[in-house]
Amino acid sequence: MLKTILITIVIIAIVVLLLGFRVFFVKGGKFPSMHISSNENMKRKGISCAISTDARDRNRKNLEDIISDNKN
């Protein structure tokens, strides 16, 4: 039982070190941002996060508003 716990702790420690290699061993290192809006490839493809898309769509005029503006 104790052997299994020690092996598990060692494996978890190795995984944490490997995942945080950039943060721990590179000067000024930080975890990469996982947010869609900060990803350059997503920006090039025109993909944005759901919150930004929702805000943009809420500010967009609907057809009825456009027609009423054109009548005036």
Contact 42, 48 (CB under 8 A): yes
What is the extent of the structural domain holding 22? Answer: 1-30
Verify that 17 and 42 share a domain, yes or no: no
Q: Is the pTM of this model over 0.85?
A: no
Name the domain count of the chain: 2
- Measure the CA–CA gap between 48 and 50, rounded to whole angstroms: 7
* Token output for 67: 């027609």
Verify that 57 and 72 share a domain, yes or no: yes
Verify that 25 and 50 share a domain, yes or no: no
Contact 23, 29 (CB under 8 A): yes
Verify that 26 and 56 share a domain, yes or no: no
Verify that 71 and 42 share a domain, yes or no: yes
pLDDT tens per residue across span 2-49: 999 999 999 999 998 888 877 777 777 776 777 787 788 888 888 888
Verify that 22 and 55 share a domain, yes or no: no
Contact 48, 57 (CB under 8 A): no
Verify that 16 and 39 share a domain, yes or no: no
